[in-house]
Structure 1
Amino acid sequence: MSLPRPSRPRAIINRKALVLGLNARAEAVLDGSREGTRKARADLLDTLKAALADGREEIRRRFLEDNCGGAEVCAANTHLMDQIIRVLHDYTVAHLFPKLTRTTGERLCVLALGGYGRGEMLPFSDIDLMFVLPYKATPYTEQVVETILYVLWDLGLKVGHSTRSVDECIRQARADMTIRTSLLEARFLFGERALFQDLSARLYTRVIAGSGPQFVEAKLSERDQRHERLGDSRYVLEPNVKEGKGGLRDLHTLFWIARYLYSVSDVNDLIGMGVLTPAVARKFTRARAFLWTVRAHLHYLSGRAEERLTFDVQPRIAERMNYTDRPSARGVERFMKHYFLVARDVGNLTRILLSVLEDSQKRRPMLSVPGFIMRRRDLNGFILDGQRLAVPQPDHFVRDPLAMLRVFLVAHEQGLDIHPDTLRLVTDHLSRIKPLRDDPDANALFMALLTHRKEPEGILRMMSEAGVFGRFIPDFERVTAQMQYDMYHVYTTDEHTIRAIGILHRIESGALAEQLPVATQIIHTVTSRRALYVAVLLHDIAKGRGGDHSELGAQVAQELCPRLGLDDEETETVSWLVLHHLAMSRVALKRDVDDAKTIQDFAGLVQSPERLKLLTVLTCADIMAVGPGIWNNWKAGLLRDLYRRTEEFLVGSLSAVPQDRRVRGRRDALREALADLPASWVESYLGRGYPGYWLSFDTESQERHARLIHAAEADNPADEEVVTLDTRMDTGRGVTEVLVYAPDHPGLFSKIAGGIALAGASILDARIFTMTNSMALDTFTVQAAEGGVFDAPGRLERLKATVIDAVRGTIDLRAELARKSPTLPARAQAFHVPPRVIVHHEASKTHTVVEVNGRDRPGFLFAVTDALTGLNLQIASARVNTYGERVVDVFYVKDVFGMKVSHPGKLRDLKRALTRAVGLQALESQKGAAVARDAGRARAKAERADGSDQAAE
């Protein structure tokens, strides 16, 4: 296999000069003594180490300063390594183990395998070598191989190696597909070329010949398994450039298949053989060169063989590759969009090449279908080719452009795959789709696909990757491959949208009944099914346009829906849903649904039970499609509560019983439940709660509260402070409830919040009640920091002890939280989250609602609530939400007199104090982490010193 040489190769490494210098010095020191040999080895290592460092620096300079591409970097690094190993080998056999005459068994051939064999050497790539022998190893060949490997390791290189005879290579290649693949791309470096020629000839005649279909099946199966392991999407926002879907490994797979079947050494060789067109070969080369360049930047930025394009390196690579900010998109978003479009091109290349290979090799199709499908003949103008849907003639789409949409519908309904040749023809004729946009029949076909009773996600994704979806709906093309640069969203906008449509179908089919019981029930009662599917399609359609995507998306809906065949009522419904598609999640996650004003305002927004149902289902599908782990039972419970209370308000079924009668009813029910406790204590306890408490919890919860308080007071003398804590796991919602009963005093909420954070839990919700005896009964809903129920016995005990110590003031929460706070991972540091404080005046009649935004980290809630305490504000409830790197805390507060905060001056002070507190908390956390890190290093140093002293003794 011949490789392209880099420009000005001698500026990278001058092998001739190296050899001359080494030979001269070797003659001077090699006198047959052990010391002379040691000096020669040392000189060899020092010389190669300097040559390697100089060569790498020259390659790095060319890449970063001269803007050479990734292809040049690969060629230069491969050339550098070839010369280093060649010098090492020649010096070893000429000076360290000289032998005038070698026997047949002492012949040796050195091959490059893997990426090194292909010539894809990047700055920190591994080196894979194979030492090929005619028979088993001899003492001489063992010495030579061992010396070469030890020097390479001493140079700091990561070397994979094997030593095999030709017979062993053939035997193992037959048994192991991985070894067969590595031998397929083996490249001769030096040594006995006849051994390499013998190996190659026997490999093709005894292993490869006649096994093409088996190899292709194995490689495609490996690819599918790899995709599944890495998320099975080429649109994840932190893609793996090498192994991910649409990455370099997919191109490697195509190259391996082509080389296996056609014995070519380069993709361009397939042009002359009629396998690929020049245009397709150019697309392959451009995609590979782009991915090489990105991977080279990754290596240089990380200083290691990093393959994942994480958030922290994306903007730096975008800047280095000259992607600048524009009004419509940041430079990093433009770079990542280019990346995802290249990944899509790789998918198209795979389809094209496999189609050609299948025709030429007559390989059994990958996909099989039942026999009764084979017998069908009503294929709407299409034919079956190898059990797949195909066009009868190459000019079919020229004569019938509408067939470019119909082919997807027929394939979907018949359960058939579309032949790759047909998909290629679709892509070749995309220009014919534009006139179809105003064709009623074409729009009816599209709506039939979108709203199909059979799972539409797969066929819509195929339409998108073929380019049909975006060409037919230009607004969708604008969000294709568009990323959102944050740690919350996992997929590009187009992938998120298609996944949301798939989730909507699964809700409708009942597949998600366990996670979404309410949505599964109500979706079958809506009258605007088509409007719901179109709303999911369009809910993010206007992202990246520089304005509020909900408002802009509503305008798109007004224009697009009539084209799709929706009537005026459906169009208005879709536009309203797109405009307000975030409203329900905002209210559920940021507002107190026990506050009547919250329900009243939300009901005023939705106005009808039909819109409430539609918005509920849309909200569930939208959140679930964001990414793995985003949806949980806690969010499901909040949305379910908001839906039910709003539904009650809209249909007029809210209780008309006066508040005092409802409070009296709750007290009577609790009195009955506590019949086994002393009557005097029960009557005293029933007088402690204010109306808000009696109306906020059910009788079962109130009974638990009462029994906890009774037990705590019975165990404590009257002159001792009562502080008690109880936990209860709610596996249905995936949360743990923490109940704290303690004397009420300013800062109590902040201390509890700090203690919970210090114990490693995350607060989701908090309800604060002060009893008439000046005791606080606070309920916190928490999860483990990694998500899920906080239920490990040891952690629960630690939480209880830490919170009680915090309430009693026996620990310094600020210092402990600062020490606990870890240094943010590099990917999180890439995002700047400025502190932001918003006051929602109209959200509640009785409280001031304050929203605080900032970077998520342990102790955030403590810092904010500590600042609120310093402002003499009472916290009635709190909601905590995390969106990737950003946290949003919402508090319902009153002043010391129990009134809303409304004075402009006080509101300015409130915003200023909270903004300062969030900013200082971030700085203190960074300082605390640095102090903890320095202390840890000091301890480790002291321990090493102690160990040395003990060893000396």
Structure 2
Amino acid sequence: MSLVAVGGYGRAELSPRSDLDLLLLHDGADPDAVAALADRLWYPVWDLGLALDHSVRTPAEARRTAAEDLKAQLGLLDARHLAGDLGLTTALRTTVLADWRNQAPERLPALRELCEERAERQGELRYLLEPDLKEARGGLRDATALRAVAASWLADAPREGLADARRRLLDVRDALHLTTGRATDRLALQEQDQVAAGLGLLDADALLRQVYEAARVIAYAGDVTWREVGRVLRSRAVRPRLRKLARSGATSSEGWWRATGGPSAAESRAASGPRSPKASWNRTARWCSPVPRAPNATPCSRCAPRPPPPRPDSRSPRTPYGAWRPPHAPARPWPAEAREQLVTLLGSGRPTVDVWEALEAEGLVSLLLPDWDRVRCRPQRNAVHLWTVDRHLIETAVRASAFTRRVSRPDLLLVAALLHDIGKGWPGDHSVAGETIARDVAARIGFDRHDVTVIATVVRHHLLLVDTATRRDLDDPATVRAVADAVGAQGTLELLHALTEADALATGPAAWSAWRASLVADLVARVSAVLSGDAPNPPEDAAPTAEQERLAIEALATGAPVLSLRARPEPSTEPSGDPEPLGVELRIAVPDQEGVLPAAAGVLALHRLTVRTAELRALDLPDGVDGSVLLLDWRVAAEFGSLPQAARLRADLVRALDGTLDIAARLAERDAAYPRRRGVVAPRPV
């Protein structure tokens, strides 16, 4: 008999609260003795309070179980002898590995499907604020799957940084188990500061960046490895066709290549043409090569001529397009062709993401854009944001590529999209810091002085349109004039408009809506009119409607607030044709007195009403009516549930105005009643 560690125990990857995966292996000669020994082994482990996953099998039974259960087979691949008959363990390992290699063409696609299903359920580890270190894509499960692929001998994972990435995730899981005292793999928000302290890291952001970096390495290694597995399996599948071609005497290289599953000549030209992301990748890498020396100069070891780069295969997975790791960044400023190829890459749409990930993995991005290191894998502790800062910048460029026909300078739009949040790697206002960085990067890339100024201005004011449109009164000429002064030119305005939409779409579904789009478009139209010199005259105050006069007279007569709450038909501005609910109209008439606006706003907050628009005016009453009335027109929507009754709103407003309702105290009391998450520290302002 022998005692064998399998799974995580077999890999020596146990964390403080991990299960023990044990297999008692026997030859089947004496079942009673085996059962007695199993009891003597298992019960002491249970008495210690340790979680135990155990089984008792003969080698034949273990082999049969592995053939039926892929997960059991994966666990046996990591079998490690603990005690007893070493020969029995060695024979099982040899048999299981041989079976795995023989069954690899059928087993590896099933393993890949398991990985994809798990990623669909758990998401991308490198983008989650509360990631599952084990199950999410790029986590420990994927690292284990890569070991299994390597054991099949069909393909191997990129080795650079992979072992270190796995070790870092294991260290974080160890600290998480020690902090929580539980067998958990989910790095919850309330535990992150304590885990970071246990690992000697500065804060929770530093912890997440370390986790994201490790996950990125593992995920990229998985992409490369599974791509290679697919290539190998396709080549095996077409061998009968190759033999048939050989017997038929076919000599066409095109036919031979198509028989092996490769693309046609036309497809190859389209995939590697001068405007493709792949071609941009290669040319960008080439501009990072050393500066050529004079013909008679003796090259140093760093600048010596290099052999042609190898064709990507399983032996060189870190060079996905045949590029090499360059020794230094390109000259400053960049050559015009290098700048054009960067713009081409950014404007290629969704394929840009995969190419940029390859550039990141090869270290080219840090050479091209040194400031990128400060935003790489930087978390954004905001429920609206789906991505880390660096991925958000690429997603914004992808979104902006769809708007290049709306602007006169698409190159400036794409570069501004890439740089608009680059200042988040520095303290203070990220727009201000980003302006300085964008100015330097744009000059380094090779834009002229005017274009550098435009890019810097767009980065500095990339939040201006949406903030102004949703928080300020667009009917106020001073508001429109302030935006026009900040923008300065029509070309800059159209760039800002396109970037505003691309930024919001890249942030997440909650950041953009038809309502926001209509407000921003309205503001852009008004600012454009000012910049073109044909701004309309300020509108005169409209005469009060009959309803407004009725409310005002009633408020004067009663000496108390009067409310009117009713729905209004919504404008059909939704691009899809479905109107977005913008709330209902709330009209309040109050005899003129101090504190009306804060009291009304407080009552709305107390009843959980979101204010979409607000307008305050003093109403001119008909002749013969003395007194002054304030009229407040609101557009409100309930945060959840149904709208409150108008009578309740009026009663609370009366109490707020006479001082018997302490709104601040009520709001503070409600806020204190919310459940608090232990250990959460507010993120630093950016």
1:293-332 alignment runs, 5 A limit: 293-323=171-201
Query: Are 1:446 and 2:324 matched, yes or no?
Result: no
Question: Using the alignment, how far apart are the partners of 1:202 and 1:159 within structure 2?
Answer: 25
Q: 1:487 to 1:371 in 2, by over 3 A?
A: closer
Determine helix, strand or coil for the equivalent of 2:583: strand
| Partner residue, 2:583 | 736
Letter in 1 for 2:148: W
Letter in 2 for 1:806: D
Identical residues among aligned pairs (%): 27
Aligned-pair Cα RMSD in Å: 5.0
Q: 1:734 to 1:497 in 2, by over 3 A?
A: farther
Question: Using the alignment, how far apart are the partners of 2:220 and 2:407 within structure 1?
Answer: 39
Letter in 1 for 2:329: K
Query: Are 1:806 and 2:657 matched, yes or no?
Result: no
> Post-superposition shift, 1:117?
3.3
Query: Are 1:374 and 2:264 matched, yes or no?
Result: yes
| Partner residue, 1:430 | 325
1:335-734 alignment runs, 5 A limit: 335-350=207-222, 373-376=263-266, 401-402=286-287, 424-425=318-319, 429-432=324-327, 434-435=329-330, 438-452=334-348, 455-483=351-379, 489-506=385-402, 508=403, 524-546=405-427, 548-627=429-508, 629-651=510-532, 654-656=535-537, 659=540, 663-664=542-543, 682=546, 685=547, 687=549, 725-726=565-566, 732-734=579-581
Question: Using the alignment, how far apart are the partners of 1:233 and 1:454 within structure 2?
Answer: 21
CA contact (8 A) 1:213 1:363 kept: no
> Post-superposition shift, 1:598?
1.0
Match of residue 213, structure 1, among 97, 105, 115: 105
Letter in 2 for 1:213: P
Determine helix, strand or coil for the equivalent of 2:76: helix
Q: Deviations over 1:735-790 (max 9, x none)?
A: 43362546567666556655555555555554455655747544243353xxxxx4
| Partner residue, 1:39 | none
Q: Deviations over 1:402-446 (max 9, x none)?
A: 5999xxxxxxxxxxx976666624798323452466344333322
Q: 1:643 to 1:402 in 2, by over 3 A?
A: closer
Q: Deviations over 1:168-223 (max 9, x none)?
A: 65444334322332333344556787876675565445x42422133333333333
| Partner residue, 2:253 | none
> Post-superposition shift, 1:832?
6.5
Q: 1:488 to 1:818 in 2, by over 3 A?
A: same
TM-score, structure 1 as length reference: 0.55
- For these two proteins, the number of residue pairs brought into alignment is 618
CA contact (8 A) 1:444 1:564 kept: no
Match of residue 252, structure 1, among 122, 144, 151: 144
| Partner residue, 2:304 | none
Q: 1:365 to 1:732 in 2, by over 3 A?
A: farther
Q: 1:777 to 1:303 in 2, by over 3 A?
A: same
Determine helix, strand or coil for the equivalent of 2:507: coil
Question: Using the alignment, how far apart are the partners of 2:352 and 2:224 within structure 1?
Answer: 24
CA contact (8 A) 2:190 2:678 kept: yes
| Partner residue, 1:831 | 682
Letter in 2 for 1:210: N
| Partner residue, 2:636 | 781
Letter in 2 for 1:300: L
| Partner residue, 1:886 | none
Letter in 2 for 1:256: A
Name stretches of at least 5 consecutive residues in structure 1 with no aligned partner: 1-107, 263-269, 325-330, 391-396, 406-416, 509-522, 671-681, 691-708, 785-789, 835-882, 884-953
Q: 1:483 to 1:720 in 2, by over 3 A?
A: closer
CA contact (8 A) 1:241 1:291 kept: yes
Question: Using the alignment, how far apart are the partners of 2:93 and 2:414 within structure 1?
Answer: 57
Question: Using the alignment, how far apart are the partners of 2:360 and 2:116 within structure 1?
Answer: 20
Larger Rg: 1
Q: 1:601 to 1:746 in 2, by over 3 A?
A: same
Higher relative CO (Cα under 8 Å, sequence separation at least 6) belongs to 2
CA contact (8 A) 1:762 1:783 kept: yes
Q: 1:781 to 1:467 in 2, by over 3 A?
A: farther
Letter in 2 for 1:424: R
CA contact (8 A) 1:735 1:783 kept: no
> Post-superposition shift, 1:453?
6.7
Question: Using the alignment, how far apart are the partners of 2:518 and 2:124 within structure 1?
Answer: 30
CA contact (8 A) 1:230 1:244 kept: yes
Query: Are 1:119 and 2:15 matched, yes or no?
Result: no
CA contact (8 A) 2:27 2:59 kept: yes
CA contact (8 A) 1:765 1:782 kept: no
Q: 1:171 to 1:561 in 2, by over 3 A?
A: same
| Partner residue, 1:408 | none
Determine helix, strand or coil for the equivalent of 1:646: helix
Determine helix, strand or coil for the equivalent of 1:429: coil
CA contact (8 A) 1:767 1:780 kept: no
Question: Using the alignment, how far apart are the partners of 1:812 and 1:501 within structure 2?
Answer: 49
> Post-superposition shift, 1:532?
0.9
Q: Deviations over 1:233-281 (max 9, x none)?
A: 624455433233433222212112223449xxxxxxx9xxxx78xxx75
Query: Are 1:292 and 2:161 matched, yes or no?
Result: no
Letter in 1 for 2:463: L
Letter in 1 for 2:112: L
CA contact (8 A) 1:248 1:291 kept: yes
Q: Deviations over 1:274-333 (max 9, x none)?
A: x78xxx757333222222222212222223234344554444444443445xxxxxx655
> Post-superposition shift, 1:615?
0.6
CA contact (8 A) 2:127 2:212 kept: yes
Question: Using the alignment, how far apart are the partners of 2:503 and 2:168 within structure 1?
Answer: 33
Question: Using the alignment, how far apart are the partners of 1:505 and 1:598 within structure 2?
Answer: 30
CA contact (8 A) 2:378 2:389 kept: yes
Question: Using the alignment, how far apart are the partners of 1:572 and 1:752 within structure 2?
Answer: 44
Question: Using the alignment, how far apart are the partners of 2:270 and 2:444 within structure 1?
Answer: 25
Q: Deviations over 1:427-482 (max 9, x none)?
A: 98323452466344333322322234775333233323332222222233443334
Question: Using the alignment, how far apart are the partners of 1:321 and 1:646 within structure 2?
Answer: 52
Q: 1:769 to 1:189 in 2, by over 3 A?
A: farther
Name stretches of at least 5 consecutive residues in structure 2 with no aligned partner: 239-257, 291-310, 571-577, 622-627
Q: 1:296 to 1:721 in 2, by over 3 A?
A: same
